[in-house]
C-alpha cells in the first residue's frame, strides 16, 4: 500500500473484474476483517432515473450506492473465507 492508501490490484483480479485504468472499486465489509472487492464498471450517476416509475421519486446516487453495497454484503454473508 502506498502512503496515499492506494493498492495494486493483481492482474488476474483486474482481468476477472474487467477493470481498466481509471476503474473504481468498492470494498464491502462482509464480516469481521473480511471485505469483498466489487468492481464498478460505470458511474452510478449514469443510471439516475433509468428505473423511474410514475408516482415514485427517483433514488439519489447515494441511496443507489448504499443499496448496491448492502446487496454485495448480503451476497457474501454466507462465506466463511474471503474469496470463497
Beta-carbon contacts of residue 52 (< 8 Å; ≥ 6 apart) = 58
pLDDT band at 43; cut points 50, 70, 90: low
Q: What is the pTM of this model?
A: 0.43
DSSP H helices, the chain, are: 11-17, 61-75
Question: Do residues 41 and 23 lie in contact, with contact meaning Cβ atoms separated by under 8 Å?
Answer: yes
pLDDT tens sequence across 47-64: 666 666 777 777 889 998
Cell of 9: 490490484
- Nearest alpha carbon to residue 77 among 40, 42, 39, 28: 28
28: three-class secondary structure by DSSP: strand
Amino acid at each position: 500500500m502506498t502512503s496515499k492508501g492506494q493498492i495494486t490490484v493483481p492482474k488476474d483480479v483486474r482481468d476477472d473484474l474487467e477493470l481498466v485504468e481509471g476503474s473504481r472499486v468498492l470494498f464491502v465489509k462482509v464480516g469481521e476483517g473480511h471485505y469483498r472487492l466489487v468492481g464498478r464498471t460505470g458511474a452510478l450517476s449514469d443510471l439516475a432515473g433509468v428505473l423511474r416509475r410514475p408516482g415514485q421519486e427517483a433514488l439519489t446516487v447515494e441511496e443507489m450506492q448504499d443499496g448496491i453495497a448492502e446487496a454485495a454484503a448480503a451476497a457474501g454473508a454466507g462465506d466463511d473465507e474471503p474469496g470463497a
